Amino acid sequence: MSHWLILPILLPLFCGGLLLVLPSYERVKRGLSVLATLALLPLSLALLVQADSGPLQVYALGDWRPPFGIVLVLDRLAALMLLATAVLASAAVLYAVRGDDRAGPRFHALFQFQLLGVNGAFLTGDLFNLFVFFEILLIASYALLLHGGGAQRVRAGLHYVVLNLCGSALFLIAVGTLYGLTGTLNMADLSVQVAAATADTAPLLAAAGLLLLLVFALKAALLPLYFWLPRAYAVAGAPVAALFAIMTKVGIYAILRVYTQVFGDAAGLLANLAQAWLWPMALASVLLGACGALAARTLQSLLAYLVVVSAGTLLAVIALGTIEAQAAALFYLLHSTWVAGGLFLFADLLARQRGDQAGELVQGPALEHPMLLGALFFFGAIAVVGLPPLSGFFAKLLLLQAVPPGGSALALWSVLLGAGLCTLVALSRAGSTLFWRVGRSTLDSAELDRGRLLVTLLLLACSLLLVVLAAPLIDYTKAAAAQLHDIAQYRAILAEGAP
């Protein structure tokens, strides 16, 4: 049993705890937070290579054999999500140490606890600990959203907290119902029990499964539960909003994991429980997210609605249920997470040169560095819209090719291309306002920090990296999707006991 598997949880756990008890030495705390976060990069790469070797890696805490003890599971999907988080978090923390972390207390401790919850959610092998890690990341995110204070953040934070507390209560009810009916919460063992459900227990299991879908849809910002996201993401600090780009992906990951492994093709009477609900909800989320982007009054709000569009796109493709579609969705997930994070950082760079107008899409002062910032905006816009030669083009091409011919293809093609056109119009209008409708003089207080600029460039450059590494990444995502559908492999290792 390799102990490397638990390090993505232990590292932010101990670092966050240490940051809470250390005296107020700013440089020491910053250094510890940055080192712990950057250490996740080589660790996640090592786990990615380890996961790609083939068999599932299982870590039984306390050496209690599954399904009775707490287990962590490393497969290709979990390893890919860990890498996505590590890259995004590294950029966010490096951006924050340029001064954003001073806006409020305990930023770095909360940042580490957020990573603890996210990494734990990706690695856990049972539903109850998925609930635990959800609560850890949500509690940290409540405080991070309020970092820096202000009436807008408090108002958005209140909505965010209330909705997610309701979601947590429903999560606990669903988990309790499943445990009462099956006697287990280990996901591999649960898949066996659900597949063996009788006509008497199937309706209650279906109700619990749909409750879970409601909770995960709230986390993933799926219609009609996405209304908390645009306001929360738009008012959060730049490094916080960038880190939050992975938050919706946690909900999407949970849907993909649970409704493939537990309520998937092999679930007997409850096979493909979520498919009929996900498809229309996801398509509607894409359309309404695109409309929200058109109506956005600030650059941050526009970007927040683009997160809704990306979440709906991912879930629409995942709802198709095929290996090819889910492999394409995983490639798109990397692209959308990193590019969205980079654009949130860019929006802050731009706002620092516009004074009171900040990110508002109205006429403002002339920018001190219009060519540089304009090139960055153009690069990010091309990536988001899906124009060649950046990763957005390849990601959307894979998504469209993965849809089997028929009514599903007509619906998805129409929605994605229509949303892409709306996104193009929204970003073009925003760009013309921010870079062309400007005054003649710049602000004396305008600034462009080189450290922040470099971090933003590196994160947006991940779009080019995805293009360069497209072939091996596509092979990896196909293997990850195929492994996820190999339910017998999970059942053999987890339900019968890890070697």
pLDDT digits (tens, 9 = 90+) for 36-80: 999 999 999 999 999 998 788 888 887 777 777 788 999 999 999
The H-or-E segment that residue 71 falls in is: strand 71-74
Region 15-37: mean pLDDT is: 88
The string of pLDDT tens digits covering residues 332-371 is 999 999 999 999 999 999 988 877 777 788 887 778 778 8
Q: What is the pLDDT of residue 255?
A: 93
Nearest to 458 by CA among 370, 359, 365, 379: 379
Q: What is the pLDDT of residue 60?
A: 84
In a domain, 279, yes or no: yes
Question: Residue 312: which domain range?
Answer: 274-468
Question: Mean pLDDT of all residues in the chain?
Answer: 88
Question: Two tokens at 7?
Answer: 């390090």
Cβ–Cβ contacts within 10 Å for residue 118, how many?
A: 30
Please measure the distance between the N-terminal and C-terminal CA atoms of the chain and give it in whole angstroms: 8
- Say which residues have a Cβ less than 8 Å from residue 200's Cβ, sequence separation at least 6: none
Q: What is the pLDDT of residue 498?
A: 43
- 60 phi and psi, to 5 degrees? -95, 110
pTM of the model: 0.94
In a domain, 326, yes or no: yes
Q: What is the pLDDT of residue 357?
A: 77
In a domain, 420, yes or no: yes
Q: How far apart are CA 363 and CA 201, in angstroms?
A: 61
Please tell me which of 19-23, 66-70, 228-232, 481-485 the model is most confident about, judged by mean pLDDT.
Answer: 481-485
Nearest to 60 by CA among 124, 115, 116, 12: 124
In a domain, 352, yes or no: yes
In a domain, 449, yes or no: yes
In a domain, 375, yes or no: yes
Q: What is the pLDDT of residue 346?
A: 94
Please tell me which of 56-65, 142-151, 210-219 the model is most confident about, judged by mean pLDDT.
Answer: 210-219
Q: How far apart are CA 200 and CA 196, in angstroms?
A: 11
The string of pLDDT tens digits covering residues 436-471 is 877 666 666 667 778 899 999 999 999 999 999 999
Q: What is the pLDDT of residue 445?
A: 60
Q: How far apart are CA 188 and CA 409, in angstroms?
A: 32
Eight-class DSSP state of 185: -
Contact by Cβ (8 Å): 136, 17: no
In a domain, 439, yes or no: yes
Q: How far apart are CA 447 and CA 426, in angstroms?
A: 26
Region 216-230: mean pLDDT is: 86
User: How many independent structural domains does the chain possess?
Assistant: 1
Confidence at 320, pLDDT banded by 50, 70, 90? confident
Q: How far apart are CA 40 and CA 123, in angstroms?
A: 14
**Distances, alpha carbon 289 to alpha carbons 103, 360, 423, 480, in Å:** 31, 19, 9, 28
Question: Two tokens at 197?
Answer: 């459900």
pLDDT cut 70: percent of the chain above it? 96
Give the torsion sign (CA, 404, 410, 411, 413). positive
Eight-class DSSP state of 366: P
Residue 25 has pLDDT above 90, yes or no: no
The string of pLDDT tens digits covering residues 178-187 is 999 988 888 8
- 423 phi and psi, to 5 degrees? -65, -45
Confidence at 313, pLDDT banded by 50, 70, 90? very high
Question: Two tokens at 63?
Answer: 């050496």
Eight-class DSSP state of 438: B
**Rounded to 5 degrees, what angle do the CA atoms 301, 304, 307 make?**
155
In a domain, 377, yes or no: yes
**Distances, alpha carbon 106 to alpha carbons 97, 101, 143, 184, 488, in Å:** 13, 8, 9, 37, 45
